[in-house]
Chain A
Amino acid sequence: MNAPQQGFKERADAELKNAVLKIAIDRTTGNAERKRAVAVAAFPEFQAARARGRAIKDHVIAHLDHYLEMFERNATAAGATVHWASDDAEARAIITRICLEADAKLVTRAKSMLGEEIGLPHALADAGIERVETDLAEHIIQLAGERPSHIVWPAMHRTREQVAILFKEAHHPPPAADDPATMVQSARRELRARFLGADIGISGANFLVADTGATCTVTNEGNAELTTTPPRIHIVTAGIEKLVPSTAHAFALLRLLVRSATGGEMTQYTTLHCGPKRPGDADGPEEMHIVLVDNGRTRMLADEFRPMLRCIRCGACMNHCVVYRQIGGHAYGGTYPGPMGAVLTPVLDGLAQSRDLPHACTMNGRCAEVCPVEIPLPTLLRAWRTRSWRERLEPRSVRAALGLWAMAARRPGLYRLGSRIGVRALRLFGRRGWIASLPLAGGWTAYRDLPRPLGRTFMEQYRAEQARKEGRR
């Protein structure tokens, strides 16, 4: 569905040359990294809470059918209609059908990455339904005709000046200045009438609470409640891995989610949506529909990517990723960027289309260190690399080079001879201790220098050292 148009390398190259993007990414991820560190330091029980969070997710994943049926039973009892979708196309069809049957002209939407994953924005446009994104960042990228570049801050690739240009064109009246406060006020004014005039409100869910049938959203702006209360119909789209046994379990995960995402302790609005308007209620939708989406998740349940189902979409892995912070989210080409995206995109779009993503990783392990549910992201990325090799998706040059290396590595004599020639040959390209350019390695030396080797291999030096010691004895 969301397969990238051009290659990852071309996109990453283009983004690396974008100096404004680098500033924008640094401002947001730098802030997020600092604030998370402070929040974690202020919560000495964080590591214990993290282990507990992981255990809660593992418990749900191990009993997913039990909790799905429990959730369906309780949500139905609360008056909601539960729909099931095996893939993105089924999910789009269900939502479009609800909108068309309700004769909906205007749909408001509160940010949901699952909605992006299933291609909901395009599906609504194709059905001729007007869609208004209500999260401020989603509003910005809707005006820009872009996709999210981060799962928590979808518009983090845009500077304030770039946002001002969009708002001045789209808002009536345009904002009077381009400082963030004036622009936020402008969006508030502009979107207010849309909230109240919508026929349908669509939200995602951070948690699905099995024992009550409620869906839980967390936002800081208040746009989710303004999206889900005024319209006649509220639709929730959620991945089946979002289940938790009870509200208390959701709270245990919430403590991890907020600290890991923004460095806050609690989101401004933590809302449980349980069924439609009750008889006599002062406000609320008359219908609530919940679309439970699989889209590759049951496949992950059965293979080595199962731990990825723990993910609570906090974005800490990308905030701490050296690759993400250089190239930004759009270069990844899928719905989800960064380390978690490099694991998920091959599941969603196929490994053949996205084999570059698991390779775009330095294996420094920071993502796994900060993951609030202990997902071994580097291990999962390595698993994709292994699969890519086994399925013969690696390019011929890589296969040939690795084949050559493997051949030598199995013959110690040949390997040592090769190293002896290699370190001596490399010295020919070096000046004053560094190699600044090297034939066939321009991709490396264009950005960095290589230290000039000493001229003898480790094995040669080791032998010489041993011989010297022997001589002394």
Chain B
Amino acid sequence: MTARDRILAAIRAARPAPLPPAEAIAAEAAALLDAPESVRPRPVEAVLAAEFVRKASALGTSFDHLPDRAAIPLAVNRYLDTHGLPPALALQPAPALAALDWTGIDTHDAVAPDQTAALGLALWGIAETGSLVIHSGADAPILLSFLPLHHIVVLEERSLLPHLEDYAARMAGQPQPRNAILITGPSGTTDIEGSYVRGAHGPGFLHVLMIGG
């Protein structure tokens, strides 16, 4: 008897009645997600973007609002300049970013272990929590979001979702990426005496370039 057999047999032995059909279990599981508004926080702001900014700012995320993608390089330059950083950037190898005019900034695909700044794209933003969603992929290395000290993220305002369940619904039944990550503020720790310190292992700074409206 394998460990698998032993575990499953012990579970079945502990149950007084036989297992209901899979459809009945699925219906019961679905009912546990009914009336989501009764078990989740209500937004304070009526406008999704305002709620997202409110939530994310509270956690230390900074913002720049841009009219369109063409404005990204200038905004990045401004950010690097404000923080006294060299004009160098690890760029997510996505066509949408490569297509922009990066004159004056030294961009590269590879992210260095001591990378100062990196720029990537968020797939969605979640207003309830102020989270950015990224997925791993051929043009989306995960380390780009974790190695740099300054993580700059492009988010389209039209990609905002109200609640965590709305993201789960988008992904239900879809092919799953290796990693799906909800990034909520810069990296931090309270492991020494409960004191909050930013930039534990991941980025110490999270800056969102919010496009359009």
B window 13-36: CB within 8 A of A? 13-15, 19-20, 22, 25-26, 28-29, 32-33
Tell me whether B93 and A85 are in contact (CB under 8 A).
no
Tell me whether B183 and A66 are in contact (CB under 8 A).
no
Main SS class of interface, B: loop
CA distance A185 to B188 in the complex (A): 11
Tell me whether A271 and B181 are in contact (CB under 8 A).
yes
Among A57-65, A344-352, A411-419, which stretch is in contact with chain B?
A57-65
Interface centre among A64, A159, A299, by most chain B C-beta atoms within 10 angstroms, is A64
Whether, in the assembled complex, B186 has its beta carbon less than 8 Å from a beta carbon of chain A, the answer is: yes
Tell me whether A160 and B200 are in contact (CB under 8 A).
no
Whether, in the assembled complex, B105 has its beta carbon less than 8 Å from a beta carbon of chain A, the answer is: no
A136-B192, A188-B199 known; A294 vs B7 contact (CB < 8 Å):
yes
Chain B residue with the shortest CB-CB distance to A222? B202
CA distance A64 to B203 in the complex (A): 38
CA distance A247 to B164 in the complex (A): 9
Tell me whether B192 and A248 are in contact (CB under 8 A).
no
Distance between B71 CB and nearest chain A CB, rounded to angstroms: 26
Tell me whether A226 and B202 are in contact (CB under 8 A).
yes
Per the CB 8 Å criterion, the residue count for chain B at the interface is 77
Which bracket fits the contact residues of A?
35 or more
CA distance A416 to B136 in the complex (A): 75
Total A-B residue contacts, Cβ distance less than 8 Å:
262
Tell me whether A84 and B141 are in contact (CB under 8 A).
no
Whether, in the assembled complex, B81 has its beta carbon less than 8 Å from a beta carbon of chain A, the answer is: no
Tell me whether B22 and A66 are in contact (CB under 8 A).
yes
Distance between A83 CB and nearest chain B CB, rounded to angstroms: 8
Tell me whether A270 and B19 are in contact (CB under 8 A).
no
Residue interface bits A216-231, CB-to-B below 8 A is 1, else 0: 0000111101100110
- Using a CB–CB distance below 8 Å, which chain A residues touch chain B? 24, 27-28, 31-32, 42-45, 48-49, 52, 55-56, 59, 62-66, 68-69, 78, 84-86, 90, 134-137, 140, 153-156, 158-160, 163, 180-181, 183-185, 187-188, 191-193, 195-196, 211-214, 220-223, 225-226, 229-230, 240, 245-249, 251-252, 254-255, 262, 265-278, 280-284, 292, 294, 298-299, 301-302
- Extra contacts, 7 of them, besides A273-B179, A275-B178 (Cβ < 8 A), are A136-B189, A214-B176, A254-B164, A266-B131, A275-B176, A282-B136, A282-B137
Nearest 4 CB-CB pairs, A to B?
Answer: A222-B202, A298-B10, A282-B141, A221-B200
| Sampled A-B contacts (13; CB under 8 Å) | A42-B41, A45-B40, A52-B32, A59-B29, A65-B12, A68-B8, A86-B3, A86-B7, A134-B201, A184-B192, A225-B179, A248-B164, A271-B182
